[in-house]
C-alpha cells in the first residue's frame, strides 16, 4: 500500500511528532511518502525507508503565488505516486493538499485529515473563525475521514453541523518503551528540596511563557521555599522572554534550555509540568509528562481537560496570578507523588502510542478492504 503524508512545517511541534510516529510505523510494511514545506528537525527522525519531498512553496501564511504553485506541485506528485491513502496534517497543508487532490487525475485515494486543533477553535478572532470554519466545511467534500484528536474538537465540529459520519475521534498517544522502566531519581525530600517545574513548548503563539514568568515573579514574593522553572524550546518569542526574566531579576529561578533533541527524555528530572496556552488540541507534551509521572498544571483549553482529572490542576482564568497560587500548592512532595502516579496510570490506560496506532491501523485497513 502507498501512503502519502503531507504537513506544512518540519519543526518540533505536536503535529510533527504525531506524523513521525505514523510514518515510521507504517513504513515498516508500506511505501510511505512525506511532503513537507521546509527542511527541519522532523526530517531527521523519519525512517530511511520514507521518501521525503520538500516543497518550498508549501508555506504557513496565505500567499496566492506560493499556494497556487504548491497545489500544482502536489497534484503532480499525487499523479506520479498514485497513493492509496493521503493523510494530511495541519490546516494549511490540509487545505492546499486536498485542493491538489481535487485537481489531480487520481480519484481513488482515501483522503484523511487530522485536525490537531481546529483553526476556528476558541481564542481565534471572529473573522478568522468564520473564514476557517467555512473553508473546513468546503474541504469536507474532498475528505473521507476527519480525525479529531480530542472529544472537544469532535464536539466543536458537530456544533457547526459537520457531517458526523466523516468524523472519528482518536486520542494522541506516546511511546512508553523509553519511559516504562523509568523511576524518579532518589531526591532529598527535606525542607531544602528544590521543586522543579518545566514547560516544554515553542516560544510562539498560542503558547504563554510570558505569563508563566510573571507567575514566577509573584510566587517568589509569597514563598520562601526552593523552586525553579525550566523552559525547553525555542521560537520567535524566546529573546523577548529572556529579556523579561532579566528585567524581573529571575535568573536564579528561571532557566532556558533551548531546543533539545528528544526533550521528552528530560521530563523525568522534573516534579511538575506546566503548559499555558491560548488554545490547544490534545497536547502531546502533556501526555509525555504524564508518561513520566508528572502532575500537570495547564490551561483549560481545547482537549486539555480530557487529560487532567485528579492528576493535576486546570487554569480556568489563564492568568499569572492563578498560576502562582497553583504552583504554591505544588510545593508539597506528597501531592506531587500522589498526582504523578495518577498521571502515569491515566497515560497507561488511555494515551499510549500503540493504542493510537492500532486505532489508525483499523481506519487504514477499512479502506484497503474496500
Same domain for 221 and 72?
Answer: no
Q: Is residue 185 part of a domain?
A: no
Residue with cell 492509496: 84
Grid cell at residue 362: 483499523
If one counts the domains in the chain, the total is 2
Query: Which of 229, 230, 227, 228 has the alpha carbon at shortest distance from 191?
Result: 227
Same domain for 92 and 233?
Answer: no
Same domain for 273 and 344?
Answer: yes
Rounded-to-integer distance, Cα 86 and Cα 92, Å: 15
Rounded-to-integer distance, Cα 211 and Cα 83, Å: 45
Q: Is residue 178 part of a domain?
A: no
Alpha helices in 61-175 (DSSP H): 64-81, 91-103, 126-139, 151-159
List the CATH number of the domain containing 155.
Answer: 3.40.50.2000
Each residue of 351-367: pLDDT tens digit? 999 999 999 999 999 88
Query: Which of 258, 207, 203 has the alpha carbon at shortest distance from 230?
Result: 258
Each residue of 248-278: pLDDT tens digit? 999 999 999 999 988 889 999 999 999 999 9
Q: Say how many Å lie between the first and final Cα of the chain, rounded.
A: 13
Same domain for 218 and 322?
Answer: yes
Measured CA to CA in angstroms, residue 328 lies from 19, 70, 300, 313, 318 at distances of: 37, 50, 19, 12, 16
Per-residue pLDDT at 190: 61
CB neighbour list of residue 304: distance below 8 Å, 6 or more residues apart: 275, 280, 282, 283, 286, 298, 314
Q: Is residue 183 part of a domain?
A: no
| Omega prior to 206 cis, within 30 of 0 | yes
Per-residue pLDDT at 191: 63
Q: Is residue 238 part of a domain?
A: yes
Residue with cell 500503540: 354
Query: Which of 290, 294, 314, 295 has the alpha carbon at shortest distance from 304?
Result: 314
Same domain for 314 and 357?
Answer: no
Burial degree of 166 (CB within 10 A; 0-12, 13-18, 19+): middle
Same domain for 148 and 204?
Answer: no
Rounded-to-integer distance, Cα 3 and Cα 281, Å: 24
Q: Is residue 322 part of a domain?
A: yes
Same domain for 239 and 359?
Answer: no
Q: Is residue 186 part of a domain?
A: no
Rounded-to-integer distance, Cα 32 and Cα 37, Å: 17
Query: Which of 138, 95, 142 has the alpha carbon at shortest distance from 115?
Result: 95
Question: Whole domain around residue 345: which residue ranges?
Answer: 195-350
Q: Is residue 340 part of a domain?
A: yes
Rounded-to-integer distance, Cα 307 and Cα 240, Å: 31
Same domain for 337 and 202?
Answer: yes
CB neighbour list of residue 98: distance below 8 Å, 6 or more residues apart: 88, 111, 113, 139, 142, 143
Same domain for 94 and 29?
Answer: yes
Instruction: Please count the CA atoms within 13 angstroms of the CA of 309 that sit on its side-chain side.
Output: 9
Same domain for 154 and 214?
Answer: no
Q: Is residue 298 part of a domain?
A: yes
DSSP 193: P
Q: Give pLDDT tens digits along the chain (370 positions).
A: 999 999 999 998 889 999 999 999 999 999 999 999 999 999 999 999 999 999 999 999 999 999 999 999 999 999 999 999 999 999 999 999 999 999 999 999 999 999 999 999 988 889 999 999 999 999 999 999 999 999 999 999 999 999 999 999 999 999 866 554 445 544 556 667 899 999 999 999 999 999 999 999 999 999 999 999 999 999 999 999 999 999 999 999 999 999 998 888 999 999 999 999 999 999 999 999 999 999 999 999 999 999 999 999 999 999 999 999 999 999 999 999 999 999 999 999 999 999 999 999 999 998 865 5
Q: List, in sequence order, every residue forming a beta bridge with 147; answer none if it has no partner.
A: 114, 168
Per-residue pLDDT at 367: 81
Same domain for 265 and 331?
Answer: yes
Angle between helical axes of 91-103 and 126-139 (0-180°, round to 10):
40
- The pTM is what? 0.89
Question: Degrees (nearest 5) of the Cα angle 301, 12, 311?
Answer: 40
Rounded-to-integer distance, Cα 344 and Cα 50, Å: 32
Same domain for 167 and 227?
Answer: no
Rounded-to-integer distance, Cα 155 and Cα 150, Å: 9
Amino acid at each position: 500500500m502507498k501512503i502519502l503524508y503531507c504537513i506544512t512545517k518540519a519543526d518540533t511541534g505536536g503535529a510533527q511528532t504525531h506524523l513521525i510516529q505514523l510514518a515510521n510505523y507504517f513504513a515498516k510494511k508500506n511505501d510511505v511518502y512525506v511532503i513537507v514545506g521546509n527542511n527541519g528537525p522532523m526530517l531527521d527522525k523519519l525512517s530511511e525507508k520514507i521518501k521525503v519531498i520538500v516543497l518550498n512553496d508549501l508555506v504557513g501564511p496565505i500567499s496566492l503565488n506560493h499556494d497556487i504553485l504548491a497545489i500544482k506541485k502536489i497534484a503532480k506528485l499525487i499523479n506520479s505516486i498514485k497513493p492509496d491513502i493521503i493523510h494530511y496534517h495541519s490546516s494549511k497543508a490540509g487545505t492546499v493538499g486536498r485542493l491538489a487532490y481535487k485537481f489531480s487525475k487520481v480519484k481513488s485515494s482515501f483522503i484523511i485529515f487530522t485536525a490537531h486543533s481546529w483553526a476556528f477553535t476558541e481564542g481565534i478572532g471572529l473573522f478568522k473563525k468564520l473564514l476557517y470554519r467555512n473553508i473546513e466545511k468546503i474541504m469536507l467534500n474532498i475528505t473521507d475521514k476527519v480525525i479529531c484528536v480530542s472529544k472537544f474538537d469532535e464536539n466543536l465540529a458537530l456544533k457547526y453541523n459537520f457531517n458526523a459520519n466523516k468524523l472519528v475521534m482518536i486520542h494522541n498517544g506516546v511511546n512508553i518503551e523509553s519511559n516504562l522502566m523509568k523511576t524518579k531519581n532518589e531526591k532529598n525530600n527535606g525542607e531544602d528540596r528544590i521543586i522543579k517545574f518545566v514547560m516544554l513548548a515553542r516560544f510562539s503563539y498560542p503558547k504563554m511563557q510570558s505569563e508563566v514568568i510573571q507567575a514566577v515573579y509573584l510566587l517568589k514574593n509569597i514563598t520562601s521555599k526552593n523552586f525553579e522553572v525550566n523552559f525547553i524550546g525555542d521560537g520567535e518569542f524566546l529573546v523577548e522572554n529572556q529579556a523579561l526574566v532579566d528585567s524581573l531579576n529571575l535568573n536564579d529561578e528561571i532557566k532556558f534550555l533551548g531546543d533539545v533533541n528528544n526533550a521528552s527524555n528530560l521530563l523525568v528530572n522534573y516534579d511538575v509540568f506546566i503548559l499555558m496556552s491560548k488554545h490547544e488540541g490534545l497536547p502531546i507534551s502533556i501526555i509525555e509528562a504524564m508518561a513520566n509521572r508528572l502532575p500537570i498544571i495547564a490551561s483549560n483549553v481545547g482537549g486539555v481537560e480530557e487529560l487532567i482529572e485528579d492528576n493535576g490542576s486546570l487554569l480556568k482564568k489563564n492568568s499569572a496570578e492563578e498560576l502562582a497560587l497553583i504552583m504554591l500548592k505544588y510545593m508539597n512532595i506528597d501531592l506531587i507523588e500522589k498526582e504523578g502516579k495518577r498521571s502515569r496510570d491515566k497515560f497507561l490506560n488511555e494515551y499510549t502510542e500503540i493504542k493510537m496506532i492500532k486505532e489508525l491501523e483499523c481506519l487504514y485497513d477499512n479502506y484497503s478492504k474496500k
